[in-house]
Amino acid sequence: MIPKFNEYKERFELYSDDAIKPGLDSVIAALMKVGNPEKQLNVIHVAGTNGKGSTIAFMESILKEHGYSTGVFSSPALVDVHDQIRLNGLPINQEEMDKSFIQMKEAGLSGMLTDFELLTVAAFLTFKRNAPDYILLECGMGGKLDSTNVVTPLVSVITSIAHDHVGFLGATLKEITEQKAGIIKENIPVVIGLLPVVANNVIRNKALEMNSELMIYGKDFKMMPGEVFEGKIQVSIPKRKMKGPHQAINAAIAIEALWKAGVNLQEEVVAKGVANTSLLYRFQEIAPGVFVDGAHNPQLRRC
């Protein structure tokens, strides 16, 4: 259940199913009814087991420091449905959600979609109205059959691969990776994190099949000792608010993804963006020596 989402459904008498039903046919049909807002956005599409939210947070902060406006669609909700759709770092308000629900109601979407599919359409409508410079779009589950996988992005990003949602994505890393690699589009660059060998091989083959340039952490870009990003640009990072060596990798993925998306990055501004990035409930210090962390998937030792 998405907190407070049912309040909008009831108020606008717009029905959707709370079940999980992987597949794209329904959301594609619904988006056609509302004018295909997803086709008018500059999207960076992010999949992975862990690190999606943190990588998006780094990209959001870096873009903000460069003066760009942003839209973010993420899951699950941290407080309620409003924070799953963000504009310039802030959850949308009731007025914005109302506008999207009015459009969906008038288009006759009631009964067509699952809750997450309906929320995906609401996000695209919100972004079309507000026209942020860049949309950071997080897969809800998997990739290939996720309702967000209707976009042609500027770059596709796969942060990590481990066992998650095995009832839907498969029991093996190969099966799970095949689902997440489904976001790779023809001739669109792909940026990946430090993945298990079997996952790396699956993604390499998919990128080759789709004629997509593949940028691999540790090979094509990396975070060097002393917090120095090395890729097409070199950036020295001051002390990060986001702690842990895994966040250094996520920061590097974010920088590389923005570079491949064609963002005109300035080294000093990138460094400031990375240093200032924070994410609620992700290893967040709420009192001296007291931390909370909402991470919920196990991570295999990267090899």
Does pLDDT of 127 surpass 60?
yes
What is the per-residue pLDDT for 4? 97
Mean of the per-residue pLDDT values of the chain: 93
Does pLDDT of 224 surpass 80?
yes
Convert the pLDDT of each residue in 94-106 to its tens digit: 999 999 999 999 9
More confident residue, 168 or 272: 272
Three-state SS string over the chain comes to: CCCCHHHHHHHHCCCCECCCCCCCHHHHHHHHHCCCHHHHCCEEEEECCCCHHHHHHHHHHHHHHCCCCEEEECCCCCCCHHHHEEECCEECCHHHHHHHHHHHHHCCCCCCCEHHHHHHHHHHHHHHHHCCCEEEEECCCCCCCCCCCCCCCCEEEECCCCCCCHHHHCCCHHHHHHHHHHHCCCCCCEEECCCCHHHHHHHHHHHHHCCCCEEEECCCEEEECCCEEECCCEEECCCCCCCCHHHHHHHHHHHHHHHHCCCCCCHHHHHHHHHHCCCCCCCEEEECCEEECCCCCCCCCCC
For the segment 137-157, the average pLDDT, to the nearest whole number, is 97
For the segment 163-192, the average pLDDT, to the nearest whole number, is 92
Does pLDDT of 301 surpass 50?
no
What percent of the chain lies above the pLDDT cut of 90? 87
Convert the pLDDT of each residue in 21-62 to its tens digit: 999 999 999 999 999 999 999 999 999 999 999 999 999 999
Q: Give the confidence band of 167 by pLDDT, cuts at 50, 70, 90.
A: confident
For the segment 15-19, the average pLDDT, to the nearest whole number, is 96
What is the per-residue pLDDT for 280? 77
Does pLDDT of 287 surpass 70?
no
10-19, 34-43, 228-237, 275-284: lowest mean pLDDT where?
275-284
What is the per-residue pLDDT for 286? 52
Arch. (CATH architecture) of 5-292:
3-Layer(aba) Sandwich (3.40)
What is the per-residue pLDDT for 303? 28
Q: Give the confidence band of 288 by pLDDT, cuts at 50, 70, 90.
A: low
What is the per-residue pLDDT for 168? 78
Convert the pLDDT of each residue in 75-91 to its tens digit: 999 999 999 999 999 99
